[in-house]
Chain A
């Protein structure tokens, strides 16, 4: 790790100002950032620690949505009775991230700002059509994830919370990479209050995407059989040591069917 300065921010405004001034990076749970720094892949000159900012933490129900603060740890989501009552799929997703230590440190805000191609949270954000609330405004889920580790956030823009609309039904099925246990493929299926179907896929490409053939199939019939019968093209999907594009394309409907069957 290279030497760096550490600042503790007291408020979102303070954090944004410190980041702008130092050209540094926000430090949330450190579960992605610190690892990259140890490997000398990231070398920020300054870190601005968000952990002391109370307004970034917590989970609340607001009308037809569940609002989760950016600094809420994965373990807090997993243990939340409110989330369990409103959107149990998020509890299952959070429980399936990494291991206990990672869940106790890692945050929702960090996960979506980092935009790891194999991360779980982006599937939920996109699958539920959530709104990303930031220090500068709001971003719709569609269009938030722009590329490999790339989002719509500006350099000094901080995620403050995510607003997840409460769906009629939703489920997440994750196929774990045997080594990293990140998502080799993760599929989030949701049927909104108005019956609209969204299906988001993570792990299969550089950015999570909505899967049109599955959305069409499930809009017609929200059943596991319909999901399994859908055809997903391998074109453009990632290939690596653990999965070819064809294998990923095959897994997407299989996982969608499992997600639907679990409801």
Chain B
């Protein structure tokens, strides 16, 4: 379609940003090279757990090219890194929140914990000098597994967290659940490990910090998903700097997946040091450094039980989860296995009673926080693996057990605090089954058997809560920040538009999607709209991009600003057309006196606003520039069904995903091509978790064994099938775009569908349970064990 078309809603407009990305003109943090800049290198702990008896930096300070060496002793007046969410435990007490020093103080608590920062003329000089820092470590026993960490006698990681416990938290009516279990006709049970993942954005974390003496202000370029939040946390909680003296710019960012939401130690230390050093400081993580310093994802150990009546109707669900927090609380760590997890355990089902108890533990591992899906993949995995097991136990077809329990009337209040506004679960299931040609499965399975392969099919009917979040609800649940979004629409005198959004694009294509929203509402060509994001110096405010919130919340803030633009434009047009304001209609880029052919174009009105010669100056300010903040009234609830087909080679244990069909309901869709791309990416990450990725620490030494791509298996293009995707639409009822969000759905729904397919295939050889990732070795072992 032609981009100059103004009727662009729902159309696959080519991504405006791709020209710059594909021609190498993107501007990433590592492309920022201020004059006279220096380079930072972080010396990291080689031990999982050790006391620091002393640090001698004298040799490093004398090394060639060294400008400064800092340790925690130098960081006077610098506080620890904060956690943005307070969880209150079942005991009524706040969670244990041990300090998270910017540079290790007294102790190191995971391999990769930063101990010192070296600033030098070149990256190599900084790194060379770091090898001259003498750290006297007293190595302590380490614990990496969250269940082990809670056992009596486990090594103590923080004095402030006895027994390594962060909190025990619960949601739901325990008594009602226990009563339902007592009268259940059948109970299905699973013990589930949700494997720990290491995020791997193509662009590693990077930062450039500088201090301007003339302005007495700081500028930080950082690969971040939410520059305003980064600034707020860094200035108000850690460095004590005036917020208006710090400008944070997150320029082009090459992927985040959650790992770039957080305030990290590195950029904080660099901002602090930039004034002392008097020169800009730059740092770009090496890949092996990212593995031990970017917040990891998932890492749950769960026992889940589902009570049913004799017909397979769900009566109650009981879930006990132990969640690994890592060595320190990362920015949003505490809310992931609680608020974003337990609340999703109703899934798409009418289950009347649910009780979930979560214990979070500290371990000698990298901090764990949100990773694409954040809590919701873990919840979906529990629910959909359990529903699969229930189908097997009750001898019901997998679609039938789901249909017997689907929610069909909306709004629906779940027993775990959420109110689903709308949905259409049968429609997605039907369409996914059609896309998957479920009818032909038996024939395909028989044909595969002739080739010696075990073929299986698996379903996952997932739901997620997106559009984070109503600030008052989040606040009541412990959030220490608001979760609204801001947008500013600046109409230029000639009618073109610059939009400033607090959402951030690090691959999602907001520069196109948001421009489509603006172009279609104002009736102007999409190329007349530019979207600016990621700069606290230009954008009024922002909470950033995560939790599939950008269109539903950030897009709505823009719509609210557009409403103000149109309202003011109507006043200007009424004046120009000498008509009553109430008689002015705005459509297709024109203000028209209703019932007449008298009109003014949007461009004419814009020009008048800035050249107010004939203008009601006594009643109206000139200019056409509006800002809006939008705080959602509810979460949005994208949902859908994924159907996966696998073939297992019993000789080698290799699982091949031979077909994958997904039907998702994301509400209204602005750009189908972008949405499909988001789904493909999410499904691929889901496949990574289900079949390939596994973060493994040595249980004794606490060393990261999967510390490079030699051992950490990322999905590659030839690992994934050609995805079969479709959508169904029930528009979100509480935002004007009717949008729900699509960024995480793939990663949320896919793992359960894949693992259910693997279980279906392996049932033929007697395997009843296997954890992710279903690697060849693990599958082969399960087959051997079942045969023995």
The distance in angstroms between the C-alpha atoms of A25 and B614, with both chains bound, is: 81
Provide the A146-166 mask, 1 if CB < 8 A to any CB of B, else 0.
000000000000000000000
Q: Which of A136-144, A211-219, A244-252 is the contact stretch? A: A244-252
Which of the four size classes fits the interface of chain A?
10 to 19
Q: For chain A, what secondary structure do more than half of its interface residues adopt (helix, strand, loop), or is it mixed?
A: loop
| Most chain B beta-carbon contacts within 10 A, residue among A3, A177, A241, A254 | A241
Indicate whether A229 reaches chain B with its CB closer than 8 angstroms.
Answer: no
Report chain A residues within 8 Å CB of B705.
241
| Most chain B beta-carbon contacts within 10 A, residue among A3, A39, A182, A247 | A247
Indicate whether B781 reaches chain A with its CB closer than 8 angstroms.
Answer: yes
Indicate whether A236 reaches chain B with its CB closer than 8 angstroms.
Answer: no
The distance in angstroms between the C-alpha atoms of A242 and B776, with both chains bound, is: 8
Report chain A residues within 8 Å CB of B694.
241
CB distance from A245 to the nearest CB of B (A): 11
- Do the beta carbons of A178 and B128 come within 8 Å of each other? no
Indicate whether B528 reaches chain A with its CB closer than 8 angstroms.
Answer: no
CB distance from B60 to the nearest CB of A (A): 16
The distance in angstroms between the C-alpha atoms of A177 and B709, with both chains bound, is: 11
- Do the beta carbons of A179 and B651 come within 8 Å of each other? no
Report chain A residues within 8 Å CB of B780.
247, 250
- Do the beta carbons of B713 and A178 come within 8 Å of each other? yes
- Do the beta carbons of A178 and B709 come within 8 Å of each other? no
- Do the beta carbons of B710 and A179 come within 8 Å of each other? yes
CB neighbors of B among A222-263 (8 A): 241-244, 247, 250-251, 254
Report chain B residues within 8 Å CB of A254.
651-652
Given the known inter-chain contacts A179-B711, A179-B713, please indicate yes or no for A241 contacting B652, CB distance below 8 A: no
CB distance from A181 to the nearest CB of B (A): 8
Indicate whether B575 reaches chain A with its CB closer than 8 angstroms.
Answer: no
With contacts A2-B124, A247-B777, A254-B652 known, what are 8 further pairs, Cβ within 8 A? A177-B710, A179-B711, A180-B711, A182-B710, A241-B705, A241-B711, A242-B777, A244-B777
Residue of B nearest to A243 (CB): B777
Q: Can you pick out 19 interface pairs between chain A and chain B where the beta carbons lie within 8 Å of each other?
A: A2-B128, A39-B288, A178-B692, A179-B692, A179-B709, A179-B713, A180-B710, A180-B711, A182-B710, A241-B705, A241-B706, A241-B711, A242-B711, A244-B777, A244-B781, A247-B777, A247-B780, A251-B652, A254-B652
Provide the A25-42 mask, 1 if CB < 8 A to any CB of B, else 0.
000000000000001000
Provide the B523-539 mask, 1 if CB < 8 A to any CB of A, else 0.
00000000000000000
Report chain A residues within 8 Å CB of B776.
175, 178
The distance in angstroms between the C-alpha atoms of A247 and B785, with both chains bound, is: 13
Question: B775 contacts which of A1, A2, A3, A178 (Cβ < 8 Å)?
Answer: A178
Given the known inter-chain contacts A3-B124, A39-B288, A242-B777, please indicate yes or no for A180 contacting B652, CB distance below 8 A: no
The distance in angstroms between the C-alpha atoms of A128 and B706, with both chains bound, is: 34
The distance in angstroms between the C-alpha atoms of A178 and B780, with both chains bound, is: 14
CB distance from B257 to the nearest CB of A (A): 19
CB distance from B657 to the nearest CB of A (A): 13
The distance in angstroms between the C-alpha atoms of A247 and B128, with both chains bound, is: 42
The distance in angstroms between the C-alpha atoms of A260 and B712, with both chains bound, is: 32
Provide the B770-785 mask, 1 if CB < 8 A to any CB of A, else 0.
0000011100110000
The distance in angstroms between the C-alpha atoms of A3 and B65, with both chains bound, is: 14
Report chain A residues within 8 Å CB of B775.
178, 242
Residue of B nearest to A253 (CB): B651
Provide the A174-202 mask, 1 if CB < 8 A to any CB of B, else 0.
01011110100000000000000000000
Residue of B nearest to A179 (CB): B713
The distance in angstroms between the C-alpha atoms of A180 and B714, with both chains bound, is: 9
- Do the beta carbons of A1 and B124 come within 8 Å of each other? yes
Report chain B residues within 8 Å CB of A250.
780
Provide the B660-703 mask, 1 if CB < 8 A to any CB of A, else 0.
00000000000000000000000000000000101010000000
Report chain A residues within 8 Å CB of B714.
179
CB distance from B634 to the nearest CB of A (A): 42
The distance in angstroms between the C-alpha atoms of A254 and B780, with both chains bound, is: 13
The distance in angstroms between the C-alpha atoms of A241 and B698, with both chains bound, is: 10
The distance in angstroms between the C-alpha atoms of A180 and B776, with both chains bound, is: 14
Report chain B residues within 8 Å CB of A178.
692, 713, 775-776
- Do the beta carbons of B777 and A175 come within 8 Å of each other? no
Report chain A residues within 8 Å CB of B288.
39
Report chain B residues within 8 Å CB of A2.
124, 128
CB distance from B126 to the nearest CB of A (A): 13
Report chain B residues within 8 Å CB of A3.
124
| Most chain B beta-carbon contacts within 10 A, residue among A1, A2, A179 | A179
Report chain B residues within 8 Å CB of A1.
124
The distance in angstroms between the C-alpha atoms of A256 and B777, with both chains bound, is: 18
CB distance from A130 to the nearest CB of B (A): 27
CB neighbors of A among B734-784 (8 A): 775-777, 780-781
The distance in angstroms between the C-alpha atoms of A39 and B286, with both chains bound, is: 10
The distance in angstroms between the C-alpha atoms of A175 and B128, with both chains bound, is: 39
CB neighbors of A among B512-531 (8 A): none
CB neighbors of B among A1-40 (8 A): 1-3, 39
- Do the beta carbons of A179 and B712 come within 8 Å of each other? yes
Residue of B nearest to A255 (CB): B652
The distance in angstroms between the C-alpha atoms of A179 and B198, with both chains bound, is: 13
| Most chain A beta-carbon contacts within 10 A, residue among B653, B694, B775, B777 | B777
CB neighbors of A among B306-337 (8 A): none
CB distance from B774 to the nearest CB of A (A): 11
Residue of A nearest to B131 (CB): A40
- Do the beta carbons of B781 and A247 come within 8 Å of each other? yes
- Do the beta carbons of B709 and A241 come within 8 Å of each other? no
Report chain B residues within 8 Å CB of A39.
288
The distance in angstroms between the C-alpha atoms of A83 and B634, with both chains bound, is: 66
Report chain B residues within 8 Å CB of A175.
652, 776
The distance in angstroms between the C-alpha atoms of A241 and B694, with both chains bound, is: 10
Residue of B nearest to A248 (CB): B777
Report chain B residues within 8 Å CB of A247.
653, 777, 780-781
The distance in angstroms between the C-alpha atoms of A254 and B652, with both chains bound, is: 8
Report chain B residues within 8 Å CB of A182.
710
The distance in angstroms between the C-alpha atoms of A244 and B709, with both chains bound, is: 19
CB distance from A217 to the nearest CB of B (A): 17
| Most chain A beta-carbon contacts within 10 A, residue among B128, B706, B709, B710 | B710
Provide the B128-152 mask, 1 if CB < 8 A to any CB of A, else 0.
1000000000000000000000000
The distance in angstroms between the C-alpha atoms of A179 and B777, with both chains bound, is: 13
Provide the B212-224 mask, 1 if CB < 8 A to any CB of A, else 0.
0000000000000
Report chain B residues within 8 Å CB of A242.
711, 775, 777
Nearest first, the 7 A-B pairs at minimum CB distance are A179-B713, A178-B713, A180-B710, A254-B651, A243-B777, A179-B711, A247-B777
The distance in angstroms between the C-alpha atoms of A254 and B650, with both chains bound, is: 11
Residue of B nearest to A250 (CB): B780
CB distance from A208 to the nearest CB of B (A): 19
Report chain A residues within 8 Å CB of B711.
179-180, 241-242
CB distance from B490 to the nearest CB of A (A): 45
Given the known inter-chain contacts A242-B775, A254-B651, please indicate yes or no for A180 contacting B709, CB distance below 8 A: yes
